[in-house]
Structure 1
């Protein structure tokens, strides 16, 4: 896939992985639109990269998504939709006695999974009208094997993975030219990953792999430890589970 001259929308693009993606897509000659819920972070991103178009929007809100679509349509549309926005709650969201348990789980599912479907549905006809277009859905290493510290996050990413595979096959069956990519990061050094143990990679390494995959039309892009966990989960699922849920985890759950 040729990225030069493409217009890409990156949800959750004001920090972390999304901001690094904006930087590297600009370097590839793409026009970048980012969204986020924090206006201050959007302003900071715009200051760093003045060519960015920054729009405040909530990926989990249907009303906000429709408003976003209308604004982007007025701007001339997009060629690539990168569903990067995500949220994770840690051990404070685990106990069934926690009155916030269901509320936080609902936010994770709405943002990480249903928000992806919402935006894909809204932008699909626009993407179909383009000569070369794509959707990028971000799942996770945890879509293969869950981490006990973040169960709903893991479940939301497993849902994204299955949905992405089905969407790709569906578009192929109806002979649509829209390409569907899946990015499967391992643990990445971002604010969202603070407090999580394990080997991590930097955002630039992850986005380098994403861009390489897009250019080579590699539709499933497994990065870093995700490759190993994918293979282990196929042949030695219990070992894969133990690697992502090492001894001492129960103490963390109790602390």
Structure 2
């Protein structure tokens, strides 16, 4: 799809991967609207994005999702790309008394349920555009769990399954494209407690997303994730080949 002249909403856009994506797409000549829960952090991010806008709100909260969607449709009615980047993750061990249920519920709400609802609110609007897209930021965790992130991987696997279904649902509507980006460990504040300093820079995720948009590559593995994606692709091709013989 086109990568300039869009109006793009990015949740969790005040830092990390979200801010890197905002900077990259802003530099390409797109109008950027970032979202986050903290006004001060949003204003700091806006100082690096000349002409961009911000909407304060917590997408984990249903009433905030409705408010943000309404503001987008009414105040920024030209919005045609939604990037669902905001996420939650807890690092802990299941062997510890750390209330795993509560943590899993928070992760699943932010990483899965909130995205489903927000897309449901916005897709009718996007379908009215000549060219539009939904981008779900997934994770390497789709391919397996980690003992220090014991419930996070399940939320991203759920998001992946939903994204595939969403793509199938709208495959006949050529004006709406559904993308999924799979970052590996990335050097952000979000992942600092699990060794994020050893990860790739968030700008690499933004670079890969831009390539994916330009080339209509709906699945966008990044860095180490490419190894896993290639292995799964080969296995699926082998299964398909055997089924046809």
**TM-score, reference length from structure 2:** 0.90
1:81 matched to which residue of 2?
Answer: 82
**Residues 147 and 154, structure 1, Cα contact 8 Å, conserved in 2:** yes
Q: How many residues align?
A: 233
Structure 2 Cα separation of the partners of residues 195 and 114 of structure 1: 25
Structure 2 Cα separation of the partners of residues 163 and 221 of structure 1: 16
2:41 matched to which residue of 1?
Answer: 41
2:59 maps to 1:59: yes
Closer, same or farther in 2 for the Cα pair 1:95/1:63, shift >3 Å?
Answer: farther
Q: Secondary structure of 1:183's match?
A: strand
**Residues 128 and 176, structure 1, Cα contact 8 Å, conserved in 2:** no
**TM-score, reference length from structure 1:** 0.86
2:243 matched to which residue of 1?
Answer: none
Please, which runs of 5 or more residues in structure 2 have no aligned partner? Answer: 236-245
Please, which runs of 5 or more residues in structure 1 have no aligned partner? Answer: 237-255
2:222 maps to 1:195: no
**Residues 95 and 101, structure 1, Cα contact 8 Å, conserved in 2:** no
Q: Once the 2 structures are TM-superposed, how far is the Cα of residue 70 of structure 1 from its aligned partner?
A: 1.2
Structure 2 Cα separation of the partners of residues 148 and 233 of structure 1: 22
Structure 1 Cα separation of the partners of residues 7 and 234 of structure 2: 40
Q: Once the 2 structures are TM-superposed, how far is the Cα of residue 235 of structure 1 from its aligned partner?
A: 7.4
Q: Once the 2 structures are TM-superposed, how far is the Cα of residue 230 of structure 1 from its aligned partner?
A: 2.7
Structure 1 Cα separation of the partners of residues 49 and 231 of structure 2: 40
Structure 1 Cα separation of the partners of residues 113 and 135 of structure 2: 15
Structure 1 Cα separation of the partners of residues 100 and 144 of structure 2: 21
How is 1:71-150 mapped onto 2 (pairs within 5 angstroms)? Answer: 71-77=71-77, 78-91=79-92, 94-95=94-95, 97-98=97-98, 100-150=99-149
1:250 matched to which residue of 2?
Answer: none
Q: Secondary structure of 2:8's match?
A: strand
How large is the Cα RMSD of the aligned pairs?
A: 1.8
Q: Once the 2 structures are TM-superposed, how far is the Cα of residue 35 of structure 1 from its aligned partner?
A: 0.4
1:244 matched to which residue of 2?
Answer: none
**Residues 82 and 135, structure 1, Cα contact 8 Å, conserved in 2:** yes
2:16 matched to which residue of 1?
Answer: 16
**Residues 145 and 233, structure 1, Cα contact 8 Å, conserved in 2:** no
1:248 matched to which residue of 2?
Answer: none
Q: Once the 2 structures are TM-superposed, how far is the Cα of residue 128 of structure 1 from its aligned partner?
A: 0.1
Q: Secondary structure of 2:163's match?
A: helix
Q: Once the 2 structures are TM-superposed, how far is the Cα of residue 13 of structure 1 from its aligned partner?
A: 0.3
1:168 matched to which residue of 2?
Answer: 167
Q: Secondary structure of 1:194's match?
A: helix
Structure 2 Cα separation of the partners of residues 111 and 164 of structure 1: 15
Structure 2 Cα separation of the partners of residues 187 and 23 of structure 1: 20
